């Protein structure tokens, strides 16, 4: 076999994978658009706020994806839905505005696709990040104290300070990264219907 012929063959074989998946994938799911909810007049999936988009990067950098997936699997009656991780399965349209778009490959903890619906109180979620065992004593999730700042407590505690007893007159306040991460987690909500994935 001549080297040029081998080169062309190898190139074509590799191109087959790219064209077959990325190009056709782009045509099939890259052109999906959000759907207008006529009741609320909002589009779905909703466009996340700037803070939530920053939070998506914090989520990635903290390696949350090593233990939590972001994909609810169907069909109706499946384990994911029965466990209450969502009211429907995840579909490509759900990921339209995700940046970075993560799915995950391991579940040491629960799926987080719908965590915004399960934990609605941002303060509770912030507390979970600081010390997961305060919320769930058996949790194996590691604490993330580096996402919080210790500040001297004034006569009045700050609004977003954690409800902990100040030590050495210092209160625990979430940093910008922690707030962004909470905003991102709150934005993870599959509680809307799509034409290809109606709510159960």
**Total residues contacting another protein (rule CB under 8 A)?**
71
Residues 187, 139: contact at Cβ < 8 Å?
no
Min dist CB 155 to another protein, Å, is 30
- Indicate the SS3 state at residue 170: strand
Q: Which of residues 116-145 bind another protein (CB under 8 A)?
A: 133, 138, 140-145
Does position 18 bind another protein by CB under 8 A?
A: yes
Q: Are 111 and 78 in contact (CB under 8 A)?
A: no
Window 140-169: residues binding another protein (CB under 8 A): 140-146
Decide whether 139 or 154 has the Cβ nearer to another protein: 139
Work out which of 53, 97, 149, 170 binds another protein, going by CB under 8 A: 97
CB of 156 to another protein, least distance (A): 28
Task: Output the smallest distance, CB 126 to another protein, in A.
Answer: 16
* Cβ-contact 185, 120 below 8 angstroms: no
Do 113 and 90 contact (CB within 8 A), yes or no? yes
Least distance from another protein to the Cβ atom of residue 32, Å: 6
| Closest CB to another protein among residues 38, 138 | 138
Tokens for 159, please give them.
Answer: 């609004």
Residues 69-88: x/- map of binding to another protein (CB under 8 A)? x-xxxx----x--xx-----
What is the residue-wise DSSP string for 50-117? Answer: HHHHHHHHHHHHTTGGGT-------STT-HHHHTTS-SS---GGGGTT-SS----S--SS---TTHHH
- Residue of the chain from 51, 67, 153, 164 that contacts another protein (CB under 8 A): 67
């Amino acid at each position: 076999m001549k080297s040029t012929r081998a080169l062309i063959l190898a190139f074509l074989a590799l191109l087959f994978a790219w064209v077959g998946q990325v190009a056709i994938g782009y045509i099939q799911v890259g052109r999906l658009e959000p759907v207008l909810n006529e009741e609320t007049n909002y589009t779905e999936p909703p466009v996340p706020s700037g803070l939530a988009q920053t939070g998506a990067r914090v989520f990635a950098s903290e390696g949350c994806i090593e233990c939590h997936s972001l994909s609810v699997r169907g069909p109706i009656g499946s384990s994911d839905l029965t466990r209450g991780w969502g009211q429907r399965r995840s579909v490509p349209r759900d990921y339209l505005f995700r940046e970075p778009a993560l799915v995950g490959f391991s579940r040491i903890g629960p799926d987080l696709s719908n965590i915004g619906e399960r934990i609605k109180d941002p303060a509770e979620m912030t507390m979970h990040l600081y010390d997961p065992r305060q919320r769930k004593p058996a949790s194996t999730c590691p604490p993330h104290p580096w996402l919080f700042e210790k500040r001297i407590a004034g006569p009045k505690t700050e609004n977003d300070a954690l409800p902990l007893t100040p030590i050495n007159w210092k209160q625990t306040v979430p940093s910008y990264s922690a707030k962004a991460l909470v905003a991102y987690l709150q934005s993870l909500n599959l509680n809307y219907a799509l034409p290809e994935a109606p709510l159960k």
